[in-house]
Chains A and B, each alone.
Chain A
Amino acid sequence: MSGPIVEAEGVVKTFGPIRALDGVDISFEAGIIYGLLGPNGAGKTTLIRVLTTLIRPDAGTARVAGIDVLADPTAARTKMGLAGQFAAVDDYLTGRENVEMVGRLYGLSRGDARRRAAEVLERIGLVDAADRPVRTYSGGMRRRLDLAASMVGRPQVLFLDEPTTGIDPRSRIDIWNLIQDLVADGTTILLTTQYLDEADQLAARVAVIDCGRVITEGTPSELKDKLGGAVVELTVTDDCRDQTLAALATVTGEQPAYEPSTKKITVPAPDGARTLMAVVRSLDSSEIVPDDITLRKPTLDDVFLALTGHHAEDQTQTSATKPRRPRRIR
């Protein structure tokens, strides 16, 4: 099959006064992991719900595996699997019963459902716990079970809504490996995340979504190039702040950003450690000693600050007050 495997065009969804999706376009080819990156309330879950036929958009079209999800939702459902943001598993059933039930509802015969459940439980590392009631599972195990259930019908496209949120770092790596295995086997995955490093690790392409709109789209490295790779972050005493900002502007040729609430000054460091050393030399010659100075990778927050002019976490607060001036993008 050629052409995009998932395609959304001009998708709008409102909840009363809230425009959860405000004209979203995404499109990607089969066989990749596509990342949907955005802060709380960005519209990630709403977009997944539209694509998985759980809600009808107010406007726009969506196709999954070549099937129009609005015109033919039942056919589309045979092609996809969903693991929602909160594990939808039955506490009083065993892990195996949960997965077998979903297999049956995909239309598998009893025997096929049993075999397939054993297969995915093995694959997801839940064999030992498979016959225990889910009530006794940890949060990470429930998450994995939910993932197992979403895989049981061998969907062409898997939708994973924040598959690693609230999961300890080790289980997180396990889930990453599993996702990569699935893609190696030919499944296409759309996953949402709030973590830049996750999108970076896994996704071949990423759409950054904010306030119901895709604000940028591309490969993770394209995304980071927009930010210039690394950032120098420092704090100084209030009386030498202006002098510092001027010095930084001269050294890097960029306007530094100052965040009053944290008193942090950040400036892009396109040459990494070299930029940091140049900054240090310049401050030293002006006899400024920063309280703290670090060179770090850009975070999701930096992406947001750069692309939207507001922080990822406090967008509701920021949009209610005066919008901050966007930092210049190289």
Chain B
Amino acid sequence: MTALPARSRVGLAQAVRDTAVITKRNLLRNVRLPQLLLFSTVQPVMFLLLFNYVFGGAIGRAIPPAAGGKYINWLIPGLVVQVATFGAGQTALGLTEDLSKGVIDRFRSLPMARSAVLAGRTMSDLIRNGLIISLMLGVGFLIGFRYQTDFVRLVAGVAVALAFTYAMSWVMAAIGLAVKNPEAAQSAVFLPVFPLVFASSVFVPTQTMPDWLRAFADNQPITVTTNALRGLILGEGALLPGQTVEGQILAALAWAAGILAVFAPLAVRVYRRTVS
């Protein structure tokens, strides 16, 4: 019987390996229960269909011509950001589920990198949300969405959305770990997110909102990220006068970096407090 050597510190290589193991474990769930991915895609597709066919005609008049005269072109970048935001909520749900099932205790009793539990969870959710966004773009193409720039810019837009969803995953991790139980996490996560998504440029241009709301809507991260995507996918004409595509991309990335800088350490601290 060969005993494992006692190791006081977990090296970086081991930490990366452990993170990969946890990421794979989390992703396998989506593979084994493909319904999970499908259901997560159904909701944005439903929004897509509802908004496109129900409100599209009315809203269509208010959108910039850069959208090629089709509301769906304007809506898709917004919905990508909506998926990025809601999808991040999955991080809270996954963590609370692992907490309540004792899986996190098992991980913590192993000589693995402590960081791997959170790093693996946010990584697997990033991959998962990337898949859902791709699926949704696919459905969008089927019902008439066309990017107005080029494919590289579309991909760049998705990358900006992924940076945002990754940062939001850490916010959700902190929320989930603070409330601990899966049922409470469900509402704790979506309650703050709903108003943020609707009071933004995701569905309608902010110009039609009352001034006080518009002041908020124009400057919150979901709008900024949506603008960056619209600039990339539809061109500068989709932005407000005075805004540039580069400016919106930089602002969106700055938001993502800022959120990450605040919430990643916070989530780690809440994790340490929650589990002991």
| In the complex, chain B residues whose CB is within 8 Å of the CB of A97 | 28
Chain A window 59-87, contacts with chain B (Cβ cutoff 8 Å), 1 for yes, 0 for no: 00000000100001011111111101011
Of B8-16, B175-183, B186-194, the one contacting chain A is B8-16
In contact, B5 and A78 (Cβ under 8 angstroms): yes
Assembled-state Cα–Cα distance A81/B105 (Å): 12
> Is the C-beta of B266 less than 8 angstroms from some C-beta in chain A?
no
In contact, A107 and B107 (Cβ under 8 angstroms): no
Across the interface, A84 reaches (CB within 8 A) one of B10, B18, B105, B110, namely B105
Given contacts A74-B10, A185-B1, contact A105 B103 (CB under 8 A): no
The 9 A-B pairs of least Cβ separation, nearest first, read A88-B102, A77-B111, A88-B106, A82-B109, A75-B6, A105-B112, A92-B32, A78-B111, A105-B110
| In the complex, chain A residues whose CB is within 8 Å of the CB of B29 | 90, 92
> Is the C-beta of A153 less than 8 angstroms from some C-beta in chain B?
yes
Chain A window 158-202, contacts with chain B (Cβ cutoff 8 Å), 1 for yes, 0 for no: 000000000000000000000000000110000000000000000
In contact, A101 and B21 (Cβ under 8 angstroms): yes
| In the complex, chain B residues whose CB is within 8 Å of the CB of A54 | 105, 108-109, 275-276
Q: CB within 8 Å of A: which residues of B? A: 1-10, 14, 17-18, 21, 25, 28-29, 32-33, 101-103, 105-112, 275-276
Chain A residue at minimal CB-CB distance from B31: A92
| In the complex, chain A residues whose CB is within 8 Å of the CB of B111 | 74-75, 77-78, 105-107, 153
Known pairs A87-B102, A106-B4, A107-B112. 6 more at Cβ < 8 A?
A78-B111, A84-B105, A90-B103, A92-B32, A107-B14, A156-B3
> Is the C-beta of A280 less than 8 angstroms from some C-beta in chain B?
no
In contact, A88 and B8 (Cβ under 8 angstroms): no
> Is the C-beta of A53 less than 8 angstroms from some C-beta in chain B?
yes
Closest-CB distance, B237 to chain A (whole angstroms): 47
> Is the C-beta of A55 less than 8 angstroms from some C-beta in chain B?
yes
Chain A window 122-147, contacts with chain B (Cβ cutoff 8 Å), 1 for yes, 0 for no: 00000000000100000000000000
> Is the C-beta of A154 less than 8 angstroms from some C-beta in chain B?
yes
Instruction: List 8 interface pairs A-B (beta carbons < 8 Å), by A numbering.
Output: A54-B108, A74-B8, A77-B111, A78-B4, A93-B28, A107-B111, A154-B3, A156-B3
In contact, B276 and A154 (Cβ under 8 angstroms): no
Assembled-state Cα–Cα distance A299/B101 (Å): 32
| In the complex, chain B residues whose CB is within 8 Å of the CB of A93 | 25, 28, 32
In contact, B7 and A107 (Cβ under 8 angstroms): yes
In contact, A75 and B3 (Cβ under 8 angstroms): no
Assembled-state Cα–Cα distance A182/B237 (Å): 72
Chain B residue at minimal CB-CB distance from A108: B4
Q: Determine the interface band of chain A, counting residues with CB < 8 A from chain B.
A: 35 or more
In contact, A105 and B18 (Cβ under 8 angstroms): yes
Closest-CB distance, A143 to chain B (whole angstroms): 13
| In the complex, chain A residues whose CB is within 8 Å of the CB of B14 | 107
Across the interface, A79 reaches (CB within 8 A) one of B6, B28, B107, namely B6
Chain B residue at minimal CB-CB distance from A146: B106
In contact, B110 and A106 (Cβ under 8 angstroms): yes
Assembled-state Cα–Cα distance A186/B33 (Å): 41
| In the complex, chain A residues whose CB is within 8 Å of the CB of B32 | 92-93, 133
In contact, A154 and B1 (Cβ under 8 angstroms): yes
Assembled-state Cα–Cα distance A77/B1 (Å): 18
Closest-CB distance, A110 to chain B (whole angstroms): 10
| In the complex, chain B residues whose CB is within 8 Å of the CB of A133 | 32
| In the complex, chain B residues whose CB is within 8 Å of the CB of A87 | 102
Assembled-state Cα–Cα distance A110/B179 (Å): 36
Assembled-state Cα–Cα distance A80/B33 (Å): 33
Assembled-state Cα–Cα distance A54/B109 (Å): 7
> Is the C-beta of A247 less than 8 angstroms from some C-beta in chain B?
no
> Is the C-beta of A56 less than 8 angstroms from some C-beta in chain B?
yes
Assembled-state Cα–Cα distance A74/B10 (Å): 8
Across the interface, A154 reaches (CB within 8 A) one of B4, B101, B112, B275, namely B4
In contact, A88 and B4 (Cβ under 8 angstroms): no
In contact, A72 and B109 (Cβ under 8 angstroms): no
Assembled-state Cα–Cα distance A102/B4 (Å): 14
